[in-house]
Amino acid sequence: MIVVMKPNSTQENIDNIVKTIHSLGLEAHLSKGQEVTLIGIVGDKEKFIQKNPQIMPGVERVITVSESYKLSNKKFHPEPTVVDVRGVKIGGDNFVIMAGPCAVESKEQLLESALAAKAGGAQILRGGAYKPRTSPYSFQGLEENGLKYMAEVRDITGMPVISEVTSLKAIDAAKEYVDILQIGARNMQNFELLKAAGKSGLPVLLKRGLSATIDEWLNAAEYIMSEGNPNVILCERGIRTYETSTRNTLDISAVPVLRAKSHLPIIVDPSHATGVRDYVAPLCKAAAAVGADGLMVEVHPNPACALSDGPQSLNPEDFKTVCDELRPFITLAGRKFE
Ligand code: PEP
Ligand code: MN
């Protein structure tokens, strides 16, 4: 439920409503726009309705939000959320590229990848330390040592770092070393993990589940946000369809759909969506053109020797070319890319 305040409502009117909401044991979420202030209410709305909010001083109208996700809902928060990670802004007018290897393999490999990512224009370094591999016999990641390398390479390059967490133990470790927690597609509905990520105090990039609908995805975001963490970034990484030419099918329409439903920043990952290096560049351009807030791209100094996802990883030269070709699309979309 949302209370829309009159443009001329006073701070006292707003405080009075927030006080009433709190006195009923409900949560109030304020969204102050240029002209109007909205107060979103989370909890049993019936209690609030009994107080006749429509006649409270300063109230213009009261709207019921039918969707089960509230905090991630654009109706609650019409302005786009901008997540600030060590000065790199994700969302709003900005375009951000997160790039790096699928898995952290060694400090040297990570540093080489980071320098390649930075040379292309990426602002954030990605790298997996806990790898959710399909086969238990595949490389599972360097775990905490991988996280340590992420922090060391951040200190050398100045790039904020993002890494996937697959367990509560991994969240505890990652909090010491990384700037953004990534929840992978396979864990999108691991609700205990989502709640713990919500409590971590770090921004969270939430990938779309392999077979998740957009509403299920926004409800997963709600699990993180309802723990008091507003800094959630959504990442479309392809969904399961009957098509086998690509690893997954990039749902490019998810970008405008999310834009209509939510205020959270939207990142597109063409590497995991396609699984094929040659298809990454065109889909980076498509993502920029359709209005995504940024990209996640896998880059490896020598993809042929990568311990995971080599076939979809770009080498440093190809990554640079993609970024150069991408710039006009970012500009046309009206975004800043620094
Ligand atoms: C990844 O980004 O390393 C990854 C495993 O991606 P996804 O969860 O989208 O499969
Ligand atoms: Mn990967």
Give yes or no: residues 260 and 301 share one domain. yes
> Which whole-number Å values give the CA distances from 238 to 56, 162, 202, 269, 271, in the listed order?
47, 20, 25, 8, 9
The answer to whether residue 78 sits within a structural domain is no
CA dihedral angle for residue 272, residue 277, residue 279, residue 281, rounded to 10 degrees: 100
Q: Which of 195, 196, 165 is nearest to 180 (CA)?
A: 165
Over the stretch 101-153, which tens digit does the pLDDT of each residue have? 999 999 999 999 999 999 999 999 999 999 999 999 999 999 999 999 999 99
| Percentage of residues in the chain having pLDDT higher than 90 | 97
Is residue 77 domain-resident?
no
For the chain, how many structural domains are there in total?
2
130 and 170 Cβ atoms separated by less than 8 Å: yes
CA-CA distance, 213 to 129, in Å (whole number)? 28
Ligand 1 in reach of 263 Cβ (< 6 A): no
CB-neighbour burial class of residue 265 (10 A; exposed 0-12, middle 13-18, buried 19+): buried
Q: What distance in angstroms lies between residue 184's CA and the mean position of ligand 1's atoms?
A: 5
Looking at the domain assignment, is residue 11 inside a domain?
Answer: yes
Q: Is the CB of 277 under 6 A from ligand 1?
A: no
Judged by its nearest atom, the ligand closest to the C-alpha of residue 133 is 1
Residues 182 and 39 placed together within one structural domain of the fold: no
Task: Give the pLDDT mean for 12-26.
Answer: 96
CB neighbours of residue 261 within 10 Å? 18
Q: How far apart are CA 225 and CA 217, in angstroms?
A: 13
Is 309 touching ligand 1 by the criterion CB < 6 Å? no
187 lies in a domain?
Answer: yes
For residues 318 and 109, give the distance between their C-alpha atoms in angstroms, rounded to a whole number: 17
Look at residue 338 and tell me whether its pLDDT is greater than 90: no
Tell me, using a 6 A CB cutoff, whether residue 184 lines ligand 1: yes
Structure tokens at 60: 């213009």
34: pLDDT strictly greater than 90? no
* pLDDT, tens digit, 9 for 90 and up, residues 62-98: 999 999 999 999 999 999 999 999 999 999 999 999 9
pLDDT of residue 195: 98
Q: Is 101 in the pocket of ligand 1 (CB under 6 A)?
A: no
Return the residue whose CA atom lies nearest to atom 4 of ligand 1. Answer: 184
- Please indicate, yes or no, whether residues 96 and 7 belong to a single structural domain of this protein: no
The model's pTM is 0.96
Residue 68 lies in a domain: no
Q: Are residues 48 and 123 in the same domain?
A: no
Q: Residues 190, 320: one domain?
A: yes
What CATH number is given to the structural domain containing 57? 3.30.70.1140
What pLDDT is recorded for position 156? Answer: 98
User: Where residue 99 sits, what CATH number does that domain have?
Assistant: 3.20.20.70
Q: Which domain holds residue 205?
A: 83-332
